[in-house]
A and B are shown apart, each in its own frame.
Chain A
Amino acid sequence: MSSLTEQASKHPRLHQLPQTHQLKALMTIIRDAETKRGDFVFYSDRVIRLLVEEGLNYLPVVDKEVTTPMGVPFQGVAFEGRICGVSIMRAGESMEQGLRDVCTSVRIGKVLIQRDERTAQPKLYYSKLPRDISDRWVLLLDPMLATGGSAMKCIEVLLEAGVREDRILFINLICSPEGALTMLEKFSKMQIVTAEIDEGIDARKFILPGLGDFGDRYFGTED
């Protein structure tokens, strides 16, 4: 483990899924260059479900007393706070169904951010967000956090729309330590939920060892 990876894994606002054998097995399948698309989609969806469940755990709950079928009072908790999803197009859309599976009829906004070839900076091309997003918790969806350029641009868009930064949870499958640390430093209240923290990024901004281009492999648009 590189020192940067270790540093990232200890960051209090970067939450990794429990590193079980089972998760390793799922990640092995989706990282394997030989994996067929059907398996890639199936096992990615499984990891996404785990990530969404984990992400929701950082939402608040309030105490609630209920009565059990045996007529006994039970001191429990209830969900508190409304949520929405925001996916960064195109790859982030692959995570929407995982969110819908656990939060039926959840509102989902979309943002298209691409690299401006003249400035080499990420540029916002399109955004459509729920009107009352400023009252909501936001699960930001993008499967790969490499440099963090698009995601940081997206967070700026969310903040401009009135979202509280401490209510932003960025959910991804794999992140690079430098991307995650840069992002957490720039935004001091948001949180990241990820399955694994990798070694770094290459010159083409791909995460290493990573899994290649997630959107192409998920949507079947490889060359």
Chain B
Amino acid sequence: MSTTYDQLVGIVKTLHNAPAELFAPEATFAQLDVDSLTLVEISMRIERDLGVTIADNELQEDLTLDATAQLIDSKLAQ
């Protein structure tokens, strides 16, 4: 079974071209060169595929992939 982190990375890779070696739990969206509109696209895809609503101000460019996965998990647990 894929983890939330894996699903998140899958979504980001679909919407954003970045070198594969940059994808790591501690990488921030800024380090992956993800801009603010792509963050909106990512949050809408998370909403559609994982059923979790994330507000625009929750997904910031300085957030790491790991922290984002934890944010999704905490919402899934609610």
User: Are A and B bound to each other?
Assistant: no
A interface with B by C-beta (< 8 Å): none
B interface with A by C-beta (< 8 Å): none
